[in-house]
Amino acid sequence: MPRLTPDQLLQELAVVDDLLIVQDLDGVCMQLVKDPLTRRMDRNYVEAAALLEGAFVVLTNGEHERRRGVNRLVEQALEDQTRPAREGLYLPGLAAGGVQLQDRHGNVSHPGVSDAEMAFLAAAPARMEALLKERLPAVLPEVGSGDLERYAHVAVLDTQVSPTVNLNAVFGLIPNDVPRQRQLQSLLEALMEQLLNEAVDAGLAGSFFLHAAPNLGRDAAGRERLKPAERGDVGTTDIQFMLTGSLKEAGLLVLLNRHIAARWGEAPLGDDFHVRTAPRDHQGLLELARTRIPPERMPLLVGVGDTVTSTASPDGSGWLRGGSDRGFLTLLQELGAWSGQDNRVILVDSSHGEVDRPSLADGHLVGISDPQDPLRLDLLMPEGPSAYVSWFGRLAQARCSSAADDRPTPGSA
């Protein structure tokens, strides 16, 4: 099927009555950067999101709160630390893959997460940094100990419920050395596996899993496959230590359940439904939706992401498909097919930032999609986040204008 142009999709969505845009953040509405503390969000984007109240939510593996949270970016964009909470200008939706829920006034909760799990997560960043300091010298012997300590400190993202090791800055030390980049990836995986084992020793078996970004889908045991570094594509750069159930596709159903409840007064999946009680597999999530959600109450869904991968399998028998946005975008598309709606998928090119990623520019989608890919990409944004933010703002204005046009004129019957 031919893809849509930005203007075609804007015209289509401007007049949809029941719409829900489910959008990733990093690489979509802001450039990918090596140090997340240097991220910046456009003021116009924040204000456009507020105009789309009720039709827009975020679904991200990042987090809402603390110093690395997206809420700080909203405050910086508006140059005001109190106005977002007062006027409801924070970005509503799910963070940390689905376990961190926020409304537009910045009220955050973690449904289904225990005190013991929160305590282990609080201690995890210091442990990650210590393990990095032990292991990095073997891969980077030419780097002084003081510099390595600094890189280890920068690499650990001390978020509340998804602490992460992000090696983008370390990869920058060896930009063309693919063998050592792969060594770093192996080091990272082993380090995080050790942390998983320590959680088991603490009585928290089954509480956590590892999310690799980007990845090549899951192996037979359910573990995410690292994407090996190649020339021009560094592959997996970070691994998040996440709570079991923190899957974007499960988060999609949570957001959908809440949207339907707000519109129709009844939550089809239950008032207490959250990602930790949701099925853990794609087919189970799809069947749950088909069984419990009345198709006539389904909104038109639009999924927006940037991280979708596809690589030929080593034996040439097929494709290894992954990426942190693939699961929820695919489920969103399948929900549209089931409910008889043309749910839409937008893919934004995140190769314009500081991180090596495959580009959409030539239209071939090498490393992103493949000829047999079941995921249909309705709209490509090869110009990256800046183009998406501009389009998003125009959509918000168009929907406001459409709503104003639909209001009855004074004195009309």
Each residue's pLDDT tens digit, 67-92: 999 999 999 999 999 999 999 999 99
The pLDDT assigned to 412 comes to 52
At 1 the pLDDT is 63
For 216, phi then psi, to 5°, come to -115, 45
Structure token pair of residue 262: 């707000």
72-87 in b/e form (b: 16+ CB < 10 A) is bbbbebbeeeeebbee
Partners of 226 in the β-ladder: 215
- β pairing state of 208-213 and 164-166: unpaired
Strand partners, 240: 164, 211
Q: Which amino acid is at 393?
A: G
- Show pLDDT as tens, one digit a residue, over the chain (413 residues): 689 999 999 999 999 999 999 999 999 999 999 888 899 999 999 999 999 999 999 999 999 999 999 999 999 999 999 999 999 999 999 999 999 999 999 999 999 999 999 999 999 999 999 999 999 999 999 999 999 999 999 999 999 999 999 999 999 999 989 999 999 999 999 999 999 999 999 999 999 999 999 999 999 888 999 999 998 889 999 999 999 999 999 999 999 999 999 999 999 999 999 999 999 999 999 999 999 999 999 999 999 999 999 999 988 889 999 999 999 999 999 999 999 999 999 999 999 988 888 999 999 999 999 999 999 999 999 999 999 999 999 999 999 998 877 766 555 54
Contacts of residue 92, Cβ cutoff 8 Å, sequence gap at least 6: 56, 57, 58, 102, 103, 104
Write down the pLDDT at residue 144. Answer: 95
Do strands 208-213 and 93-95 pair parallel, antiparallel, or not at all (unpaired)? unpaired
pTM for this structure? 0.91
**Are the C-beta atoms of residues 233 and 224 closer than 8 Å to each other?**
no
**pLDDT at site 403:** 80
Three-state secondary structure call for residue 197:
helix
What is the CB neighbour count within 10 angstroms for residue 17?
10
Check if the beta carbon of residue 15 is closer than 8 Å to that of residue 8: no
Can you tell me the distance from the alpha carbon of 322 to that of 214, in angstroms, rounded to the nearest whole number? Answer: 8
253: helix, strand or coil = helix
pLDDT at 413: 44
Peptide bond into 214 cis (omega under 30): yes
d(CA 120, CA 127): 10
